[in-house]
Chain A
Amino acid sequence: MSALFEFCLRMGDNTLVLGHRVSEWCGHAPVLEEDIALANTALDLIGQTQLWLGLAAEVQGEGKSADDLAFLRDAWDFRNALLCELPNGDFGQTLMRQYLFDEWHCMMLNALRSSTEKRVSDIADKAIKEASYHLERSRDTVIGLGDGTTESHARMQAALDYLYPYVGELFVADGHDEAATKAGIAPDLASLRDGYDAALSATMAAAMLTIPDDKFAHKGGRTGRMHTEHLGHMLTQMQWLQRAYPGASW
């Protein structure tokens, strides 16, 4: 059942890589309250990763665990969207990345609640509550900073200009996605686009930000064809312990 395996990897790698990125803020956020909120978000995403990669490992049937998949694969085996692995940049860029992901994540999880695969709909039922809160928070912050001071507005516009070309990948299906859709496991990715664009337009209008006209989309993360140069660096941090002390456990 490789369509289900591939699908779980893509969901789990999104949350793993983004969760790790967000966790990099721990102890560094501009104010204490945001620091805790970001850490909570990161922990939610890592928790969801355990479910997705746990299911992936189960489906794979090679006796591996979620931890094996998280820590013993190299960059080319990761299946996350490129958006998730991009560097944090400033606080505004982190929150813009979070918002762009959360909006998609909520739509995806909502659709997955009616998956024909019960193990998938169970995960979606649990994750949607966390993702809805992430979305509420990231949307409010994007609006607050976009419609804030001249400085915060300029930073948020720069963040949107930088990140928007990475949004398109979330909606482009390949053979594995088509197989998952056919099996009723997952929705047709392209079918989520209109709702996403409408939500994005409403948020950016409220944030006084301009969505770039160019629809060019960087791709290659979800298929594993080509990640950005940032993922490998991130993995050296995330996986250093297993790389330095293979098999270490505690």
Chain B
Amino acid sequence: MSKEWPLWEIFIRGQHGLSHRHVGSLHAPDAEMAIKNARDVYTRRNEGQSIWVVEAKHISASNPSDKGPMYEPSESKVYRHPTFFDIPEDVGAM
């Protein structure tokens, strides 16, 4: 048995119904304590409305060295941005 507590990634939803954002990570023995620790470490200045915790080992991540094949192909495809439409005046601000 490892003596270290597992690592948890912490996501906090701020005021005004924004989505949860990754704020950092911490150690805790279980999910419940991870939420408590997140409350104490990351919401001291009234930052939070809701906390999600995910044990770090459950997060699968893309490989940074795949950057080329993963992201470069979309760089040259400006037509995917909806910037080529004329918006009728009646529509107003989008």
A176 within 8 A of B: no
B54 within 8 A of A: no
A-B pairs under 8 A by CB, number: 29
User: Which of B21-29, B57-65, B71-79, B83-91 makes up part of the contact surface?
Assistant: B21-29
- Residues of B in contact, count (CB < 8 Å): 13
Asked if A40 contacts B40 (CB within 8 A), the reply is yes
Nearest CB in chain A to that of B39: its residue: A133
A36 within 8 A of B: yes
User: Which of A122-130, A136-144, A158-166, A200-208 makes up part of the contact surface?
Assistant: A136-144
Smallest beta-carbon distance A172→chain B, Å: 33
Residues 22-75 of B at the A interface (beta carbon under 8 Å): 26-29, 32-33, 36-37, 39-41, 44
Q: How far is A86 from B43 in the complex, measured between Cα atoms in Å?
A: 30
**Dominant SS at the A interface?**
helix
Q: Mark A21-32, 1 if CB is under 8 A from B, else 0.
A: 000000000011
A37 within 8 A of B: yes
Q: How far is A33 from B37 in the complex, measured between Cα atoms in Å?
A: 6
Q: How far is A137 from B29 in the complex, measured between Cα atoms in Å?
A: 13
Which among A33, A36, A140 is the interface contact of B32 at CB below 8 angstroms?
A: A140
- Residues from chain B with a CB closer than 8 A to the CB of A133 are 39
Q: How far is A91 from B77 in the complex, measured between Cα atoms in Å?
A: 59
Nearest CB in chain B to that of A144: its residue: B29
Given A136-B36, A137-B36: A33 and B26 interface contact (C-beta under 8 Å): yes
Which among A37, A136, A144 is the interface contact of B37 at CB below 8 angstroms?
A: A37
Given A31-B5, A144-B29: A37 and B44 interface contact (C-beta under 8 Å): no
- Residues from chain A with a CB closer than 8 A to the CB of B40 are 33, 36-37, 40
- Residues from chain B with a CB closer than 8 A to the CB of A36 are 37, 40-41, 44
Q: How far is A37 from B28 in the complex, measured between Cα atoms in Å?
A: 12
Which among B27, B32, B39 is the interface contact of A31 at CB below 8 angstroms?
A: B27
Asked if A140 contacts B44 (CB within 8 A), the reply is no
Q: How far is A32 from B23 in the complex, measured between Cα atoms in Å?
A: 16
Nearest CB in chain B to that of A148: its residue: B29
Nearest CB in chain B to that of A38: its residue: B40
- Residues from chain A with a CB closer than 8 A to the CB of B33 are 140, 144
Q: How far is A136 from B33 in the complex, measured between Cα atoms in Å?
A: 10
Q: How far is A31 from B5 in the complex, measured between Cα atoms in Å?
A: 10
- Residues from chain B with a CB closer than 8 A to the CB of A40 are 40, 44
- Residues from chain A with a CB closer than 8 A to the CB of B36 are 37, 136-137, 140
Q: Mark A1-36, 1 if CB is under 8 A from B, else 0.
A: 000000000000000000000000000000111001
Q: How far is A32 from B7 in the complex, measured between Cα atoms in Å?
A: 13
Q: How far is A140 from B44 in the complex, measured between Cα atoms in Å?
A: 20
Q: How far is A32 from B33 in the complex, measured between Cα atoms in Å?
A: 13
Q: How far is A215 from B5 in the complex, measured between Cα atoms in Å?
A: 38
Smallest beta-carbon distance B17→chain A, Å: 23
Smallest beta-carbon distance B36→chain A, Å: 6
Most chain A CB within 10 A, of B5, B40, B44, is at: B40
9 tightest Cβ-Cβ pairs between the two chains A and B: A33-B37, A37-B40, A36-B40, A40-B40, A36-B41, A33-B26, A137-B36, A33-B41, A33-B27
